[in-house]
Amino acid sequence: MTEGPRRSRSGAATIEEVARAAGVSRQTVSNVLNAPHRVRTETLERVSTAIRELGYQPDQSARSLRSGARRTIGYLAPVDDPLDPNPLMAGFLEALVDAAGERGQRVLLFRPAPPAADPVAAIDELVAARQVDGLVLADVLTDDPRIAHVARLGVPFASFGRTGPEEPQHWADIANDTAMAVVVRHLAARGHRRIGYLGATEELPWMAARRAGFLAETRRLGLSAAPLPDGSGTAAVRELLRGPDRPTAFATGSDLLALDVYEAVRAEGLAVGPAGVAVTGFYDTPLCRHLHPPLTSVRLPLRAIAAGLMARLLGQVHGEAVPTTGLELPTELVVRASSG
Amino acid sequence: MTEGPRRSRSGAATIEEVARAAGVSRQTVSNVLNAPHRVRTETLERVSTAIRELGYQPDQSARSLRSGARRTIGYLAPVDDPLDPNPLMAGFLEALVDAAGERGQRVLLFRPAPPAADPVAAIDELVAARQVDGLVLADVLTDDPRIAHVARLGVPFASFGRTGPEEPQHWADIANDTAMAVVVRHLAARGHRRIGYLGATEELPWMAARRAGFLAETRRLGLSAAPLPDGSGTAAVRELLRGPDRPTAFATGSDLLALDVYEAVRAEGLAVGPAGVAVTGFYDTPLCRHLHPPLTSVRLPLRAIAAGLMARLLGQVHGEAVPTTGLELPTELVVRASSG
DNA sequence: TTGTAAGCGTTATCAG
DNA sequence: CTGATAACGCTTACAA
């Protein structure tokens, strides 16, 4: 006689107990759950009742061991820079958890263990312990080592942010350049002819794409563009506002950067708004509504992105044919008093 | 002959293969991993080498099934109100994942499925499927139904935020009242004698405690307090600033509320800062550094909270004696130009 | 100290 | 459509 595992607590019902209660065999219960069409209606009802009454749910570990499916996907949390916090992290995670839940998957959160903070090692651990069916990666950079690694490992994955041309195109992303082009058109329609731009750093692909979109669209419309160099802050904006041919509008790569512009505009004795200097942000964080005037911003389709990622990821998991191109989704411009 | 489960991919090594490679039995390999002291040094080394060479890691599902330990804790994500987003959610999660990782646990994220959005049902599902060893709850309210439920279920849990006096005291929290008392003393030391207060809503226990701390400390110091009613915004602050006996400082319950005060102060033609109207926030979000002047704020000890929660949670999981009182942790006042 | 045997709860196969 | 049997990979008692 061996000693069973430490019963966690309240002896949860097993499939055996349900079978006994319903007067059928274990396998019939299993069939009711996994292949209901192979069970007679009458039996199905009887078993279902027993399941409900006993509050039975299959033990996920046993199920995973036997079937190979973990019903869990891993999300590698970006080791984020406190100086450049990703403002959508929380909102995206929620959307991801919901999208996963809709498809019967749970989300296992993991991070590289400090101090090494090696994402590749963290991935290896999770995969070796067979804890997940696949991975979702975010904040993907060009030539991201994480992508190269999971691709080589053959682990199903999907990324928020584009992968390199050599890698599998299992990604979803917003159209950063188009998003900014829409901003420019919005400002142009309000009569602005010279527009400033404040980004963060070209090293982040999404920031680079926004700047490129800004430049391309201003050129296309024959507007005058005044992009500030990477890492510029309030001081640079003020200088631009003091100079000749002052911009009447500013587009920015994030809501926090827009706040810098607000401060600069006021410091120069000007007003933020269509009558003074129009300003736009990015991400549509809660900050936008607390500003005076409220900030026009770009809202991301986080739920659609999460759904797209899950579809691509589970396609791989189930061995279906997966698209060979990424999924690019449009953003939504939320116009508020800062620009319109 | 039955058909094995769908081999996920790259045939990961099993304990059997390691045993063969090292010339020992399965159980010895298991002992090396779970009870190294019972293995001869020489054998231990030989087995360890084989483990390393084969890149072996135990299958977590098999391990869980047999031992009963899931090595995973569930985090119930608050169904947060987009109008009052919890600004620490992202930072807390990171701290929690790190604290869990240090103790060999992973974090499974889950949310009540829309549209019912019933947290109790979500908990039941996770527990019934035996996917976690315990739960971490956050944003706990007085008489929170989630707490009552997990306590009745007997599931190990720990909460960020205090539980009611009738419930197990498995919580960690900051000292909200003391935090605000420190703010008041800071302002008093800078010479302020009449101080305004802007909170969000008394219905959130942490907000109520902050307000109470503000009121108690101003009274204790013999200062004049001007607390605004729940839900007040910029308009109410402006009115206060226009009235007789204008406050020279404002304490607030969050950084976003502090932003409302900034706007009001400026709208009245005054300046934010020690010379004009001093302002303080709460949470020390990235926003603080982007404001002009930078915002004095209260920083939360998120890592200590996460560590405390994990300690209490795993204590229960392992059947150890657990403290009968909650864990209250101090905050840190980060003084910036908005007040000093 | 090491090996033998059993079984965790589930699902897949296959015979009735 | 249902039921017996085996196996997933691992850990735990117990015997050698």
CATH of the structural domain B15-58, one choice from 1.10.3720.10, 1.10.260.40, 3.30.70.1880, 3.50.50.60: 1.10.260.40
* Cα–Cα distance, A339 to A279 (Å, whole number): 6
Q: Indicate the residue of B62, B110, B292 with minimum beta-carbon distance to A65.
A: B62
Residues belonging to chain B: 340
Q: Indicate the residue of B10, B67, B153 with minimum beta-carbon distance to A154.
A: B10
Bases of chain C below 7 A from a protein C-beta are: 1-14
Q: Residue B85 has what pLDDT?
A: 65
Bases of chain D below 7 A from a protein C-beta are: 1-14
Q: Could you give the residue range(s) of every CATH 3.40.50.2300 domain in chain A?
A: 72-174+302-330, 176-300+335-339
* Cα–Cα distance, A332 to A182 (Å, whole number): 9
Task: Label residue A212 left, alpha or beta by phi (over 0 means left) and psi (-120 to 50 means alpha).
Answer: alpha
Mean pLDDT of the B321-332 span: 94
Q: Residue B296 has what pLDDT?
A: 98
Strand pairing report for B171-174 and B106-110: unpaired
- pLDDT of B222 > 60? The answer is yes
Question: Protein A2 CA to nucleic acid D16 C1', in Å?
Answer: 18
Q: Indicate the residue of B7, B9, B80 with minimum beta-carbon distance to A155.
A: B9
Q: Which residues have Cβ atoms closer than 7 angstroms to strand D? A: A 1-3, 5, 24-28, 31, 37-40, 42-43, 62, 65-66; B 1-2, 4-5, 7, 14-16, 26-27, 30-31, 33-35, 56, 58-59, 62-63, 65-67
Tell me the fold of A176-300+335-339: Rossmann fold (3.40.50)
Burial class (CB in 10 A: 0-12, 13-18, 19+), B317: buried
Direct distance between the N- and C-terminal alpha carbons of chain A, in angstroms, rounded to an integer: 77
Strand pairing report for A278-280 and A249-252: parallel
* Cα–Cα distance, B57 to A124 (Å, whole number): 10
Residue of A nearest to B121 (CA): A55
What the block records as the tokens of B104 is 């060999």
Q: Residue A10 has what pLDDT?
A: 42
Q: What is the pLDDT along chain A (340 residues), one digit of tens a residue?
A: 223 333 333 467 888 888 888 888 888 888 888 888 888 888 888 889 988 888 889 999 999 989 889 999 999 988 766 556 677 777 899 999 999 999 999 999 999 988 888 999 999 999 999 999 999 999 999 889 999 999 999 999 999 999 999 999 999 999 999 999 999 999 999 999 999 999 988 889 999 999 999 999 999 999 999 999 998 999 999 999 999 999 999 999 999 999 999 999 999 999 999 989 999 999 999 999 999 999 999 999 999 999 999 999 999 999 888 888 999 999 999 999 999 8
Q: Residue A84 has what pLDDT?
A: 63
Where is pLDDT greater, at B295 or B8? B295
- Inter-chain CB proximity B260 and A290 less than 8 Å: yes
Residue B53 confidence class, pLDDT cut points 50, 70, 90: confident
Read off the DSSP letter of residue A167.
S
Q: What's the gap in Å between the CA of B128 and the closest CA on chain A?
A: 6
Q: Is B243 helix (H, G, I), strand (E, B) or coil?
A: coil
- Inter-chain CB proximity B90 and A85 less than 8 Å: yes
Distance of CA A330 to the CA centre of its chain: 14
Chain segment B237-276, per-residue pLDDT in tens: 999 999 999 999 999 999 999 999 999 999 999 999 999 9
* Residues of chain B with C-beta less than 8 angstroms from the C-beta of A68: 5-8
* Cα–Cα distance, B46 to B50 (Å, whole number): 6
Q: Residue B9 has what pLDDT?
A: 38
Cβ atoms < 10 Å from Cβ of A207: 20
Question: Protein B126 CA to nucleic acid D13 C1', in Å?
Answer: 31
Looking across all nucleic acid strands, the nucleotide with the smallest C1' to CA distance from residue A44 is D1
* Residues of chain B with C-beta less than 8 angstroms from the C-beta of A110: 97, 101, 106-107
- pLDDT of B170 > 90? The answer is yes
Contacts 24+ apart (CB under 8 A), A9-16: A9/B153, A9/B154, A9/B155, A10/B153, A10/B154, A12/A55, A12/A56, A12/A57, A12/A59, A12/B127, A12/B128, A12/B130, A13/A54, A13/A55, A13/A56, A14/A56, A14/A59, A15/A56, A15/A58
* Ordered alpha helix ranges (H), B103-250: 119-128, 145-153, 176-189, 205-220, 234-242
* Residues of chain A with C-beta less than 8 angstroms from the C-beta of B99: none
Q: Residue A38 has what pLDDT?
A: 82
Convert A243-262 to b/e letters by CB count within 10 Å (16 or more is b).
eeeebbbbbbbbbbbbbbbb
Residues belonging to chain A: 340
Distances (CA, A) of A295 to A101, A166, A284, A334, A335: 33, 39, 8, 9, 8
Q: Which residue is nearest to nucleotide D8 (CA to C1')?
A: A66
Chain segment A8-44, per-residue pLDDT in tens: 334 678 888 888 888 888 888 888 888 888 888 888 8
Amino acid identity, residue B125? E
Judge whether B243 and B279 are in contact, CB under 8 Å: no
* Cα–Cα distance, B278 to A289 (Å, whole number): 23
Distances (CA, A) of A79 to A137, A175, B289: 12, 24, 20
Q: Could you give the residue range(s) of every CATH 1.10.260.40 domain in chain B?
A: 15-58
Question: Protein B18 CA to nucleic acid C2 C1', in Å?
Answer: 16
Read off the DSSP letter of residue B296.
B
Query: What dotted CATH number matches B72-174+302-330?
Result: 3.40.50.2300
The pTM for the full model equals: 0.93
* Ordered alpha helix ranges (H), chain A: 15-22, 26-34, 41-54, 60-67, 89-102, 119-128, 145-153, 176-189, 205-220, 234-242, 255-267, 287-290, 302-317
Q: Residue B11 has what pLDDT?
A: 64
Q: By C-alpha distance, which of B133, B144, B138, B128 is closest to B158? A: B138
Q: What angle do CA A165, A171, A174 make, to 5 degrees?
A: 105
* Residues of chain A with C-beta less than 8 angstroms from the C-beta of B107: 108-110
- Inter-chain CB proximity B109 and A75 less than 8 Å: yes
Q: What's the gap in Å between the CA of A78 and the closest CA on chain B?
A: 9
Residue B321 confidence class, pLDDT cut points 50, 70, 90: confident
State the count of interchain CB pairs (< 8 A) between A and B: 168
Residue of B nearest to A112 (CA): B98
